[in-house]
Amino acid sequence: MTDPHFIRVKDVAKTYVTGATEVEAVAHVDFDVAEGEFVSILGPSGCGKSTLLMMCAGLEPASEGAIAIGGKPVSGPRREFGLIFQDATLLPWKSALENVLFPIEMMKLDKSAYRARAIGLLEQVGLGDFLAKRPSELSGGMRQRVAICRALIHDPSVLMMDEPFSALDAITRDEMNEALARIWETQRKTGLFVTHSIREAVFLADRVLVMSGRPSTIALDFRVPFARPRRPELVEDPEFARICAMLKRTIEDGYGRAGKTAA
C-alpha cells in the first residue's frame, strides 16, 4: 500500500538575507505527495519553484516549517534522492556509460554490479548505440537522457527535476517529455518536476501545483484527469487545451500580468 503522505511539506517558507536586505521567496507552502505520484510545480521564472525544490532535496534549508520524505525530516541531501538539473553537468572526459555509473563510484559501490542496469537504462532512452560516446559527441537532448539515467542508476525512491528540458529546442523538448513519460511507466518513482511550461506540466504530471507571485504560495493544486500511459497525441485533445488555458489564467491572475506566461 502506497503512502499518501510520502512527501510532506508543512508551512514551509524561505527568506534570503543579504546584509540589511531580506527577500521573502517562498511563504507558507503546504502540500503532500503520495508515494509513486508525479507532481509538477508550475510557474514563471523567479517565482520560487526551484527554491522550493531545493528545500525538498535538502540542498537549501527552509527558514520556517518542515519537510519530511518517507517519514524522515529532510535536513540535507539523501542517497534515496535522484536529482536532475537544467544543465546535464556530465563529465566531459567520461563516456555516456561512465557518466551514468559515476554516482555509483562516488558512493563507493561495486560498479560492476550496476553496469547491466546502466546499459539497460541507456537502451531504454534510445542511447544503446552511444554507450562509449563522450558528451561532446552527443546532442543536448542526448546529454539530458544520460543525466536522467545517471539520476536513476542507484534506484532512488524520489526523483527531483529542476527544469531539465528548458534549454532544449521545442521539438527536442517534446521528444524528451515523451521519453520521460515512458521511463515513468517502468520506473514509477515519486517525482517532483519544476517547469515553466504549462504543456509540459500537464502532459507529465498526475498533479500540477501552480505557484503564486513572490513571496510564493500554492495558488492551485490541480489533479490531471488523463490516464496513463500518455501518448503524444494527447496534446491535441480539446480537454488538454482547456486545462492548459485554465492554468494559464490562474498564473496570470496570480501575477497580474496577462500574456507573460510560458505556454
186 falls in which pLDDT band (50, 70, 90)? confident
Pairing of strands 72-73, 81-84: unpaired
- Asked if 41 and 194 touch (Cβ cutoff 8 Å), the reply is yes
Q: pTM score, two decimals?
A: 0.90
In the numeric block, which cell numbers belong to residue 23? 527577500
* pLDDT tens figures, 81-111: 999 998 889 999 999 999 999 999 999 999 9
- pLDDT for 263 equals 41
- Asked if 119 and 170 touch (Cβ cutoff 8 Å), the reply is no
Distance CA 158, CA 106 (A): 19
Angle, in degrees to the nearest 10, between helices 96-106 and 140-152: 30
Distance CA 184, CA 192 (A): 12
- pLDDT for 256 equals 56
Q: Tell me: pLDDT of 131 over 80.
A: yes
3 falls in which pLDDT band (50, 70, 90)? confident
Looking at the DSSP bridge assignments, the partners of residue 114 are none
Q: What percent of the chain clears pLDDT 70, i.e. is strictly above it?
A: 96
Mean pLDDT of the chain: 90
Out of 127-131, 210-214, 255-259, which region has the weakest mean confidence (pLDDT)? 255-259
Closest CA to 44 of 210, 177, 202, 233: 210
φ, ψ of residue 209 to 5 degrees: the values are -100, 120
Q: What percent of the chain clears pLDDT 90, i.e. is strictly above it?
A: 65
In the chain, where are the structural domains located? 81-155
